[in-house]
Chains A and B, each alone.
Chain A
Amino acid sequence: MRSRRLRLPLTRLHQALIVAHKSVGRGYYRLVLKAPEAARTALPGQFVMLRVSDTLDPLLARPFGISAVISRSSLELVYRVVGKGTTMLTTAKAGQTLSLLGPLGKGFPLPDKKTIPVFVAGGSGFPPLHFLTQRAGSRAHLFLGARNKECLPPMSIVRSFKENTDNVHIATDDGSAGVQGTSTDILNAFLVKMEQKAHFVLYACGPHAMLAAVSRIAAEHAIPCYVSMEERMACGLGACMGCSIPMKAGGYKRACKEGPVFDSLDIEWSEQVRLNLPSVRRS
């Protein structure tokens, strides 16, 4: 193993040791993986591909946004159990190792001192933004939206905002937590009230429909907006061409390579409406 490292010093393929792995409530898990080389270079918005088992079913590695770097040597991933792969991952125990590829993709442009970052997270889209909030300063705002209280990320994960809870805005579809409505409703209401928006920058992660709405709101208020796009991917290296995001300028870009973070103005949002009609064929 050591000689391989020497031969390929820059490789992003790691055997990562599980340092901690625990349920943190509401179907979310916190996984801490020791991978010093990956932790040293990881940037907010980047992701890793994790093989949840050594078997061939499920076959593909899963992409996970990095939610934090811990003591410069470990990566923290917070994930929600959504299917076969993540269910299998919950059984992995501290002391085991997992095949980890990363950090991958391009992250968020980091806010400068003047910037007032506004984070918008929908569904399980919080983790990559959490990494960014660590570098955000006290003026940042966070908008969280989910179907109901049970679907919100546990507040323990939102810990970086604990001291500044006035800046945490929550909406649920059924009103079981925060305001009844969507994260984009309360975001829009907030921005309408604000007179001085010159230093605002939106950072959003969540379902496509939410990102499209955030992008529209950002354009209406003339605020820069960066979105982290999710798409099914096989390799994470730009080879499978599976994770295509339609671009306004025509053609596609890969979420894994040119993304997952894009300037919302560059994305062709209308194509994100997934009709999947049999007649939709292009060649």
Chain B
Amino acid sequence: MANKNKTEFRIRNSELIRPDLSVSFAGIKLKNPVLTASGTFGYGEEFAEFVDLNKLGGVIVKGISLNPIKGNPPPRIWETPSGMLNAIGLENPGVEVFLNEKMPYLRKYDTAVIVNMFGYSLEEYIAVAERLDGVQGISGIEVNISCPNVKAGGMAFGTDLRATFELLSAVRKTTRLPLIAKLSPNVTDVTAFAKAAADAGCDGLSLINTLLGMAIDVRCGKPRLANCTGGLSGPAIRPVAVRMVWQVARAVSLPIIGMGGIVTGEDAVEFLLAGASAVAVGTANFINPRATLDVLDGIEGFMREQKLGDLREVIGKVDAG
């Protein structure tokens, strides 16, 4: 009898109930909605000292191309108010090194691995996607059509509706893995690109990538970055990202990974309310290597505080009148 009373008390007191944070995203089972934004978390190993990767919803790895890329000359980064510009130039060791040296480490963990990939031509995108298809331990592919820091590839595809559709359609045919398109915010109407991705057969969307920006050293009259322009990330871009997630969530039915300046659990909840089913922590990993876990704790704390038991009670529930 005493035990029964205790149980009832536990159920009534929401503080003691662990909210269900699991979510199915584009067919990928995630323990919780917290992922890592590509390019801010390396290949997971760099952060394993600070974060138990098993606790994350998943890891979206740094972008992979067919061949190794050496990246842009320095300076590559510049801090701006509550944000940073970067022009790394997609430096990466190439798909073979990734599969041989990075994947074995990630496979040790019980966490979803989503591989961000890109190419300098349609053929390269297809070749990388083919190589990733069927590899054990890969849960999905995030196609980067939105990097602002390389001339060919990247944003050149992601800011042209027809190129977006054709590229994503071609990649779709090469893989059975869940396909997520990472969209560029550097367009007038992001919903048109979201629709093109949906029409091409994508399973989900990531938004947003960085905003194209520039900073100038006024004393010497030169750009701060060797690449002149770079991608703006961090808390400075969060309102833009939340707006775009909200617009796209209303326009298409594909699930969305929301990202852009998330530092706290409340930041993440903003994206969930706007319509994202999952979130990715990016630049915050640089200022706090435990940021992903802090965001996860924050989301859980919010759900408890609001006495919510399931993420579905949050996703897309902004009251926009």
A-side interface residues toward B, CB under 8 Å?
7-8, 10-13, 51, 56-61, 99, 101, 231-235, 237-246, 250-252, 271, 274, 276, 278, 280-283
Contact = CB atoms under 8 A, between A and B. Distances in A.
Contacts of B120: 283
B76 A242 contact: yes
Is chain A's interface secondary structure helix, strand, loop, or mixed overall?
loop
Contacts, number: 129
Interface stretch (B129-137, B223-231, B310-318): B223-231
Contact of A278 (B228, B285, B286): B228
Interface of B: 39-42, 46-47, 49-50, 52, 62, 69-79, 81-84, 86, 88-91, 120, 150-152, 222-223, 225-228, 234-235, 263, 283, 285-290
A139 to B, nearest CB: 36
Contacts of A101: 289
A16 to B, nearest CB: 15
A235 B39 CA distance: 12
Contact of B89 (A234, A239, A276, A283): A283
Contact of A8 (B49, B78, B228, B263): B49
Given A240-B40, A282-B89, A60 B72 contact: no
A277 B103 CA distance: 38
A239 B40 contact: yes
Contacts of A252: 70-71, 74, 91
B73 A60 contact: no
Contacts of A232: 74-79
Contacts of B222: 276
Contact of B46 (A8, A57, A239, A280): A239
Contacts of B50: 8, 11, 13
Given A8-B50, A10-B49, A59 B234 contact: yes
Given A8-B49, A12-B49, A276 B88 contact: no
A283 B82 contact: no
Closest 4 CB pairs of A and B: A242-B77, A235-B286, A234-B286, A239-B42
